[in-house]
């Protein structure tokens, strides 16, 4: 029996893996029956890579360079029905992606199944699904599809993942002080609490899992490289550094931008995915690097509809 212990498990929607924007418009404008009919009629048509394709391909490559048991598992998690999924699996086979598992829920909520698969990260273009995932404690991002990046023909030798700090790696407690009381109150709070680790945010566990994978390699040969790209600057940087030290995680590169635009730094870093809680940053970055917005945790029962 296959277990996902000591394995990075990534759930990805079909629309994040492949370019299904035209099909999504059919679903929105004409309904589920028209969408189903279209997908069945085009089962033999191979889908183009989507925003998350290159990242998933590179993550699967880890299984070929790391000895022993599998280190990454990719699960297609989709609101498609089994009947409309054949085109997706035909495309997976065409690109020789080692993906054999799927959760196809025919419009139901995906969140309950994330725990069943021990999912570490969930990527989807559907905001409702990602919100439910974050609410249930799973790292998740709404992947930007408005700027579909062309497939990189060059193989990714080192996966580069970039994170915002507050409300992504860390909780949004400090960010709330900034929004409600201003920059001076925020700076004062961070100075006073410089030696108190920041509370964990939705991506803390995911970062720790990545760090564990990195530690299996020499620092200069690790197939994963991470970066922190935050609007914080001195003196608010100290608490961040001490927090990462307390978590015993490795961040390879850190950028304390103090309000500077993040896009150019992310492009220079060469991120294969960037996670931020603010659409202003993910929208600006998404035309040069794949980006995903992390929604704030919402515990209200009303989100469950």
**Which tokens in the block code for residue 270?**
């060469």
How many Å apart are CA 105 and CA 118, to the nearest integer? 17
Taking CA atoms, 54 is separated from 27, 71, 158, 174, in Å, by: 26, 17, 12, 34
Asked if residues 87 and 43 have their Cβ atoms less than 8 Å apart, the reply is: yes
Q: Is 164 a catalytic residue?
A: yes
Instruction: Give Cβ neighbours of residue 62 (< 8 Å, ≥ 6 apart).
Output: 8, 71, 72, 159, 213, 223, 224
Q: Give the bridge partners for 103, in sequence order.
A: 77
Q: Give the bridge partners for 49, in sequence order.
A: 18
Can you spell out the DSSP letters for 118-146?
T-SEEEES-HHHHHHHHHTT-EEEEE--S
- Catalytic residue from among 19, 120, 129, 164: 164
Residues in the chain: 305
Report which of 124, 93, 90, 149 is spatially closest to residue 12, judged by C-alpha positions: 124
Burial class (CB in 10 A: 0-12, 13-18, 19+), 221: exposed
Q: Give the bridge partners for 230, in sequence order.
A: 256
Taking CA atoms, 281 is separated from 34, 139, 239, 262, 298, in Å, by: 35, 18, 23, 7, 21
**Which single residue is written with the structure tokens 């507050």?**
166
Taking CA atoms, 266 is separated from 124, 271, 286, in Å, by: 21, 6, 10
Q: Which active-site residues does the annotation give?
A: 164
């Amino acid at each position: 029996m296959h277990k996902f212990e000591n394995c990075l498990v990534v759930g990805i929607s079909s629309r994040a893996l492949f370019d299904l924007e035209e099909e999504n418009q059919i679903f929105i404008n004409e309904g589920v029956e028209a969408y189903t009919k279209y997908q069945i009629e085009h089962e033999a048509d191979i889908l183009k890579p989507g925003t998350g394709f290159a990242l998933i391909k590179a993550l699967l490559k880890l299984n070929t360079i790391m000895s022993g048991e599998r280190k990454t598992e990719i699960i297609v998690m989709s609101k498609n029905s089994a009947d409309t999924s054949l085109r997706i699996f035909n495309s997976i086979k065409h690109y020789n992606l080692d993906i054999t598992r799927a959760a196809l829920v025919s419009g139901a909520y995906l969140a309950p199944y994330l725990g069943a698969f021990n999912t570490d990260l969930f990527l989807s273009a559907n905001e409702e699904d990602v919100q439910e995932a974050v609410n249930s404690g799973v790292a998740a991002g709404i992947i930007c599809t408005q700027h579909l990046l062309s497939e990189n023909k060059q193989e990714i030798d080192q996966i580069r993942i970039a994170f915002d700090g507050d409300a992504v790696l860390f909780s949004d407690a400090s960010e709330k002080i900034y929004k409600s009381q201003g920059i001076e109150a925020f700076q004062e709070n961070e100075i006073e609490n410089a030696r108190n680790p920041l509370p964990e945010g939705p991506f803390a566990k995911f970062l720790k899992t990545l760090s564990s994978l990195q530690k299996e390699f020499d620092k200069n040969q690790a197939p994963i490289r991470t970066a922190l790209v935050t609007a914080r600057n001195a003196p608010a940087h100290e608490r961040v550094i001490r927090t990462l030290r307390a978590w015993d995680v490795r961040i390879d590169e850190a950028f304390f931008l103090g309000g500077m635009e993040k896009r150019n730094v992310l492009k220079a870093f060469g991120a294969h995915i960037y996670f931020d809680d603010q659409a202003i940053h993910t929208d600006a970055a998404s035309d040069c690097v794949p980006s995903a917005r992390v929604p704030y945790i919402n515990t209200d029962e009303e989100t469950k509809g």
